[in-house]
Amino acid sequence: MKKLLTTSIAGLAFVWACAQPFNPMNSKFLALGDSYTIGESVAEKDRWPVQLAKVMSERGQKTDAPRIIATTGWRTDQLKKAIQDANLQSDWGMVSLLIGVNNQYQKKTAESYAPEFEELLDMAVKLAGGRKENVFVVSIPDYGYTPFGKPTQAEISRAIDEFNSVSRDITARKGIKYVEITDLTREGLSRPEYVAPDGLHPSGVMYSLWVERILAALVPRR
């Protein structure tokens, strides 16, 4: 593993990347997750997987419009069932995974989250044809820094940190890319343009910052 330091206008963050370079077998992109992946309360064009595919193609890494398997409110177990029900082939050039906020919100423990997250990550690698270099995990945003979460911000933030610690450790152990975006979301109360009109989810502007972080991990500009 090696640690790549990147910056954004939102501050300093770490992007963990495995030693093997991103080398997709094709242009197919599968995005797995929950409300943050389906882009609750933003237009389809502003969803981060859609933005990512567009920017990657513009930069010379041809990427199809993403297949998104995600629904607002999904926990890890619900995502697992949806993936199984979709009967997907193991031929995706790139697979992303962002899941866990609803486990936390519904008072599930980080300990119960760990094996379910690991199973989903193994499924993601399988869907990428066994090429773990073409899989990446995005950290869970901190909704404590939104108008919805503000009253219990400290409690939410502690829990999000705990869940992210679990997913980060599992991802690192497997040598898979882990993209940290949680710090960006912690500017939501001071930067209202980072929050969608529903007062809870990220805006398209925030998702564009995520995309820059993800690009830095996948296809760094020379």
Across 115-136, b (16+ Cβ under 10 Å) vs e yields: ebbbebbebbbbbbbebbbbbb
Average pLDDT, rounded, for the chain: 92
Cα 199 to Cα 85: distance, rounded to the nearest angstrom: 32
Q: Cα–Cα distance between 69 and 60 in angstroms, integer?
A: 25
Tokens of 94: 């790139």
Q: Is the pLDDT of residue 85 over 70?
A: yes
pTM: 0.92
- Reported as a pLDDT band with limits 50, 70 and 90, residue 21 is confident
Rounded Cα gap, residues 181 and 114, in angstroms: 20
Q: What is the pLDDT of residues 40-59, one digit of tens each?
A: 999 999 999 999 999 999 99
pLDDT of residue 26: 95
Average pLDDT estimate for 140-163: 98
Q: Is the confidence at residue 157, as pLDDT, over 60?
A: yes
| Amino acid, res. 171 | T
Give the chain's domains with CATH numbers.
Answer: 2-218 (3.40.50.1110)
Nearest to 89 by CA among 67, 120, 109: 67
pLDDT at 36 over 50: yes
